[in-house]
């Protein structure tokens, strides 16, 4: 007997025949539970899971809802940016995302305080200003500790 070779179309029918079909509208639908209302909830996209992981580690709950929303927006915009200008440097997406992984509640609260200290300079694009301040502050908090004269005097004794 001659052996018939199956084509890709036949293989596809066999492979897919036992899988459960999910409606695209159902899989892309956002969770409407009270704790997630007003937020984007990940569907099937791995980027969305990465972003949700970063947002969870940010400890946004330490801030009032309105401020948490501002920071969530800034973090989301940074996360999806192809690049971000910091001074004369252009940070690519991979660098932005690696820095975002270092954000926690301490960084957010310190960034909020730095934003509040600006009382004399009008800001044209407040979202971009929050994004830049937050991004710069991720490691600035650590560098401030490293150059603190008092802490350095304690460590040297």
Does a structural domain hold residue 25?
Answer: no
Residue 52 domain boundaries? 45-156
Does a structural domain hold residue 34?
Answer: no
Does a structural domain hold residue 29?
Answer: no
Does a structural domain hold residue 130?
Answer: yes
Does a structural domain hold residue 7?
Answer: no
pTM: 0.65
Q: Are 108 and 58 in contact (CB under 8 A)?
A: yes
Q: Are 135 and 86 in contact (CB under 8 A)?
A: yes
Residues in CB range of 134: below 8 A, 6 or more apart: 71, 74, 75, 78, 103, 107, 108, 111
Q: Is 69 left (phi over 0), alpha (psi -120 to 50) or beta?
A: alpha
Is a pLDDT exceeding 50 seen at residue 126?
A: yes
Dist. CA 16–CA 64, nearest whole Å: 47
pLDDT per residue as tens digits for the range 67-108: 999 999 999 999 999 999 988 999 999 999 999 999 999 999
Dist. CA 33–CA 53, nearest whole Å: 18
Determine what percent of the chain is predicted with pLDDT higher than 90: 51
Q: How many domains does the chain have?
A: 1
């Amino acid at each position: 007997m001659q052996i018939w070779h199956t084509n890709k179309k036949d293989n596809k029918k066999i492979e897919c025949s036992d899988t459960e079909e999910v409606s695209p509208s159902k899989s892309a639908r956002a969770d409407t539970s009270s704790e997630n209302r007003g937020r984007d909830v990940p569907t099937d996209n791995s980027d969305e899971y990465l972003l949700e992981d970063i947002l969870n580690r940010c400890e946004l709950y330490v801030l009032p809802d309105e401020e948490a929303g501002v920071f969530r927006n800034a973090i989301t915009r940074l996360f999806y940016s192809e690049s971000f200008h910091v001074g004369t440097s252009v940070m690519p997406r991979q660098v932005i995302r690696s820095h975002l992984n270092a954000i926690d509640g301490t960084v957010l609260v310190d960034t909020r305080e730095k934003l509040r200290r600006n009382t004399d300079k009008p800001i044209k694009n407040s979202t971009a200003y929050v994004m830049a301040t937050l991004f710069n502050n991720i490691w600035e908090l650590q560098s401030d500790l490293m150059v603190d004269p008092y802490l350095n005097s304690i460590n040297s004794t």
